[in-house]
Each structure stands twice: as C-alpha cells, then as structure tokens.
Structure 1
Amino acid sequence: MARTSVVTGAASGIGKATKELLESRGERVIGVDLHDADVLVDLTTADGRRALVGTVADLTDSLDAVYAIAGLATPVPATVGVNFFGMVATLEGLRPMLTTSASPRAVGVSSMASLMPVDDELVAAMAAGDEPAALARAAVLAREPETTGALIYGSTKKAFAQWVRRSAATEAWAGASIPLNAVAPGIIATPMTADMIATEEARTQLLQMVPMPLNGVAEPIVVARLLTWLGGEENTHLCGQVVFVDGGSDAVIRGDSTW
C-alpha cells in the first residue's frame, strides 16, 4: 500500500525535490506551503500551525511520514517563527496521526549553520519554548542585519537540532516506534541561496566560509534522497540523529570531534 506523507515547504527548493521524489515512487504527498500546495498556511502563526494539522486531518485518515522542511534564511524574527516554532509545531501536531501507521517516520531540516556562531539568548528562549521571548530577542538582533541579524538563522537551526536530540528518545517518539531525525545540509542550490551563488566569485567566497570539499554546492535532490530514506520504511533504528549532508563542512569545521 502506498505511503502518505506531509511535506512542508513543498513549493520550492528541498521541499519540492522531496515531494517530487516521493511521488515518483508512487507515494501520496500532501504538500504544504504559502502557495502552489495542497495546504496553504503560514507557519509563522499559531493559526497557520493549527490550520495545517486540521487540514491534513481532513485530507487523510492515515499518515506515514512527516517531512518538516519549510524554512527562511533572512535576518528577521519570522525566521524564528518558521524554522523552530513552525517546524516543531508541524512535527508535534501531526505526531498523533503518525501513530496510525505501521511504519511511521518523522524528519526535519537543520543546517550546517548550526555549527556557526549563534546567539545564546535566542537559542535558550527557543529551547524553553518561549516564542514571545524568542521573537523579541530576534527583533533586537535584526536591528543590525549584517552582524547580529546574521546570527538568527544559525540559532534557529541549532535550537531545532537540539530539540530533535532531546525529543527523539522519549516515550512520545521512540516509545511510539516513530524514528525522529534531522538532516543538516550545507550550501544547496535553491531560491534561498540563489543570490549567494549567482556568480563564480560569490560562490567561491561563500565556499571559503562554508567549505564543501566533496563536490561543492549541492542540488536539492541530494538532500531529498537522504530525507526520503530517513522517512522511509527501511529506517527502523536511527534515532535522534542530525545527519550532515554538507560536502564535508562538518568534518572540516569540527575535525575529529563527534559532538
């Protein structure tokens, strides 16, 4: 029987590649985005998050996998709303539906940016689940978009990776036989990074900051392949892992450290 999955951020980039890959395998995909999707919601808002869960429940009686991919990379508070609180709400909100599956799976998207400098106060607010405090802190950081604002994205990705690590082995996830994991992409050729890799000079400068010795900048399908394995039936025991698909950035930046 064909699996049914939810993919957020399905209209472009990694989300679109994931949706198309799943569909090419005969799976049913409920795409979620602001446009060009089955479910049109704004994951920066509590209403949008509730609407996501309610609409998915209206569209299907069973759910096999959730791919939480939707994200922003701009130095604004909305990035916190989508990348952390929206992603966590997607996974937690749809988790009860996953329990109807014989092989439920859940996976989200972190980033190698989680290894970069972050704002500890913002990360702590997200870890505490305090969205008003996190948005307020992000608003302060966003006043200087080129400096402190640049910390917002990496902070959201670190906080999400930590949430996966802390949640995956709990009764709600592992106890319900739901593998929960994340991927951490390097630089991927998506609309989000288009300006940063538009010229050879810009691409070279970016790769000096984000080294990707193995084949350089990747296409979205590279991440989609990993996501769909993590969300597939073969993945029975990977639990709480953040898998870097970054052309070697993690290995270069952290060396032989495993944490």
Structure 2
Amino acid sequence: MSRTYVVTGAASGIGKSTSELLTEQGHRVIGTDLRDAEIVADLSTASGREQLVEEVTRVSGGGVDAVLAVAGLATPNAATVAVNFYGTVATLEGLRPLLLRSPSPRAVAVSSMAALFPPDETLLNALLDGSETEAMARAAELEAGDAQRSSLIYGTAKRALSRWIRRQAPTAEWADASIPLNAVAPGVVYTPMTAYIMSDAAARSQVAAMVPMPLNGFFEPRGVATLLAWLTSEDNAHLCGQIIYIDGGSDAVLRGDTVF
C-alpha cells in the first residue's frame, strides 16, 4: 500500500537516499530542504520551522503516514544545534498532528554515534531542561572557543536528541497515540557532510581511529535509508524509544557491556 512520507534533508546524503528508496517502493515522498526540494524551509530558524509545518500541512492535504527527520549539520558552530536539535524536535512535534490521520503512523529521527562521546554538560542541560536562548548562547560560546571546545557541539546536540526521543516515545502524545518514535545513530557514512574527511587521508585515518567500525567500515547512505524505511513502515509496530546504532560496531566497541 502506498503511504505518504515527509523527509527532511531530502536534497542530499541520507535524506536523498531515503527519499529515492521510498519512491522506488511506490510511496509518495514530500521532501524538504534548504534547496532542491518540494518544500524549501530553513530549520535553523523558528520561522523556517513554522513554514515547514504549514507547507507540509498544505501539500499533504492535512495527513501523512510517516515523518523522517533526517536534516542535519555537522559543522562546529551554533547553527548545528539549531538544526540538529531544535529543527528536528520542531519537525516531529509540529507534524505529529498530521500523523494522527494515518492508520499506521510512524516517526523517526537521525541521531549519530557521536552521541557516545563526552558532551558539554552545560549545553546538554540547556537543551534538555533549559531554553533555546540559553542553549544557543552556550553553543555560541563553544563555537568561539578552540577546536576542542567547538567540536563538542555536534555530539552534544545528538546526545540531547537521543535523550529527547527516549523521554518522549513512551508518552501519551506518541505511544498512546500508536505512533512508534525512534532514532537511528549512524557511524561514518559517505555523504556530502563527510566529504572533507574522505578527501584527506590524514583526516580519514584520524576519524577511523575515533570511530572504530570493524564491520565493513564506512558505508553508503543507502544502508541507513533501508533501516529508516523499515522503521517507518507498517511492519514496525512495537519499537518504542530505541536509538538504533547502524555504525559497523562503534557502539559495541566503545561502550561494551556498559549498555547493560
């Protein structure tokens, strides 16, 4: 049966690969991005997030079957926090009412194995329990610091997103409404976001040491797309609040038994 999917970040990388896969499967895809998409919206701003919800509501006719919040940045600046956390949360919360029109609603976000790295606790606390103003101010402080401090931005935003998913998934708004809410956490994927790593041998070796992927190493976005497609299919009716690491083994290597 054909379903209607909303995919953010649809113009490149994992979002583009996922959109292509879902289209191949016969589904309708409403793609959103900064450019080259059916709906153009900037998730780093409050107005852009509102525009996304308004346009998806209009284009879809008021109902969708699945929301895939894929859009994200990996730059060491405050914009990464704005898009990766607040943009993703606004997408999921803003489009949740449209999911209620579906007989089999699904929602998924893209986190990262970088969430496993030690975060900046001040930023993390602001994201989860403070205001956007506080979080963005702290992100700006980290951005203005040295490379070690600014490098904390991406992983901290993804850790906050993973925790948000865990907190929200079992609630009345999601689980009691029969909407499975989950996230995937990829390792290093060949996308435009990681192109600078792949083009430099030294950077590639450094990342490989930081992100051990013993099972087949770095991989193409189609691998993540396949998982995202299943998580938002009618077959997935009981996964709730799971952060699924599709990372070639990074989680197992870095955390070992601590997950238990």
Q: TM-score range by the shorter chain?
A: over 0.9
State the SS of the aligned residue for 1:29. Answer: strand
State the SS of the aligned residue for 1:184. Answer: strand
For structure 2, list consecutive stretches of 5 or more residues without a partner in the other structure: none
Report if aligned partners of 1:75, 1:145 keep a CA contact under 8 Å in 2. no
Q: How many residues in Structure 1 have an aligned counterpart in Structure 2?
A: 259
For structure 1, list consecutive stretches of 5 or more residues without a partner in the other structure: none
2:193 paired with 1:192? yes
User: What is the CA–CA distance in structure 1 between the aligned matches of 2:144 and 2:256, rounded to whole Å?
Assistant: 34
Matches within 5 A, 1:93-108: 93-108=94-109
Spell out, residue by residue over 1:11-35, the C-alpha distance to the aligned partner (whole angstroms, 9 max, x if none): 0000000000000000000000000
Compute the TM-score of the two structures, normalised by the length of structure 2.
Answer: 0.98
State the SS of the aligned residue for 2:194. Answer: coil
Shift in alpha-carbon separation, 1:230–1:129, aligned structure 2, 3 A: farther
2:31 paired with 1:31? yes
State the SS of the aligned residue for 2:183. Answer: strand
State the SS of the aligned residue for 1:235. Answer: coil
The letter of the residue matching 1:159 is: A
Q: Which has the higher helix share?
A: 2
Matches within 5 A, 1:94-133: 94-128=95-129, 130-133=131-134
User: What is the CA–CA distance in structure 2 between the aligned matches of 1:165 and 1:78, rounded to whole Å?
Assistant: 24
State the SS of the aligned residue for 1:37. Answer: coil
Quote the offset at 1:146 in angstroms. 1.1
User: What is the CA–CA distance in structure 2 between the aligned matches of 1:152 and 1:52, rounded to whole Å?
Assistant: 25
2:49 paired with 1:57? no
2:210 paired with 1:206? no
Report if aligned partners of 1:197, 1:206 keep a CA contact under 8 Å in 2. no
Match of 1:4 in 2: 4
Report if aligned partners of 1:68, 1:87 keep a CA contact under 8 Å in 2. yes
The sequence identity of aligned pairs, in percent, is 59
The letter of the residue matching 1:59 is: V
Larger displacement relative to structure 2 (53-62 or 4-13): 53-62
Match of 1:80 in 2: 81
Shift in alpha-carbon separation, 1:34–1:243, aligned structure 2, 3 A: same
State the SS of the aligned residue for 1:234. Answer: coil
- Report the aligned-residue RMSD: 1.0
Quote the offset at 1:187 in angstroms. 0.4
State the SS of the aligned residue for 1:140. Answer: helix
The letter of the residue matching 1:38 is: E
Quote the offset at 1:201 in angstroms. 3.9
Compute the TM-score of the two structures, normalised by the length of structure 1.
Answer: 0.98
User: What is the CA–CA distance in structure 2 between the aligned matches of 1:129 and 1:84, rounded to whole Å?
Assistant: 13
The letter of the residue matching 2:17 is: A
Match of 1:220 in 2: 221
